Amino acid sequence: MTGTDDDQPLVEAARAGRAEAFGELVKRHQDRLYPTLLRLTGSAEDAQDLLQESFLRAYKKLGRFRGGSSFYTWLYRLAVNLALSHRRRRKGPVRLSELRGEGAAPLEPPADPTRSDPTLPAEQAEREAIIQAALDALAPDHRAVVVLKEFDGLRYEEIAATLGVPVGTVRSRLHRARRELRDRLSGIVDEPAVRQGTPDAE
């Protein structure tokens, strides 16, 4: 995870009170940040709200940004933790996966068909919807490590730094999350690799 090297002049200008410079930072980084927030929250509306909120908080805390990391890395950590906080506090039915000690249950495809890409063949779309639903059902902490690892491609150390947890915790959360996904997606995982249409990493 790297940031844009030439962010610093914009950061300095924003600190000096030039809001338009901060607007340029928003335009520069919102496209990278939004997918992460969408996958962490599972809701386009929530992700957009959190995107705004992340930038607003970054602006307010700009004085505390010391440049030890890139601006994007700093912003990314802030946004991920904001999304995690949001998701932990979300009202609504408690998911089975959030009930400690409950077994994992396979999931039906989500009711919202807009989560699937309409351009995909129906079978693949349904499969992706099931996988997405399994991801949605993960506990927030587990979902976070999966998103940061599988979608954003972070190394364990980077995930640990982002979430403020030890590397060993990242490793165990990721392993438990994958096992839970395996149990939820048993029907798909047990299919021959040829039918899955995805590269088998084994």
Which one of 12, 112, 117, 123 is in contact with other proteins (CB under 8 A)? Answer: 117
Asked if 10 is part of the footprint of other proteins (rule: CB under 8 A), the reply reads no
**Which residues are within 8 A (CB) of 175 and not within 5 positions of it... i.e. 6 or more apart?**
none
Q: Is residue 113 part of the contact set for other proteins (CB under 8 A)?
A: no
Both tokens of residue 63?
A: 């004085």
Q: Which two tokens stand for residue 42?
A: 């599972």
Give the Cβ contact number of residue 100 at 10 Å. Answer: 6
* Residue 95 interacting with other proteins (CB under 8 A): no
**C-alpha to C-alpha distance for 183 and 191, rounded to whole angstroms:** 13
Q: Which amino acid is at 37?
A: L
148 is a site residue for other proteins (CB under 8 A): no
Q: How many residues bind other proteins (CB under 8 A)?
A: 78
CA-wise closest residue to 90 among 46, 134, 53, 145: 46
Please give the Cα distance from 166 to 82 (Å, whole number): 19
Q: Does 142 bind other proteins (CB under 8 A)?
A: no
Nearer to other proteins among residue 9 and residue 155 (C-beta): 155
Q: How far is the CB of 198 from other proteins (least distance, A)?
A: 4
Contact positions with other proteins (CB under 8 A) in 27-66: 27, 30-31, 33-35, 38, 46, 48-49, 51-57, 59-61, 64
Which residue lies nearer to other proteins by CB, 8 or 59?
Answer: 59
Residue 89 engages other proteins in binding (rule: CB under 8 A): yes
Residue of 13, 23, 110, 141 that binds other proteins (CB under 8 A)? 23
160 near other proteins, rule: CB under 8 A: no
- The dihedrals phi and psi of 152, each to the nearest 5 degrees, come to -95, -10
Tokens 């009711």 label which residue? Answer: 111
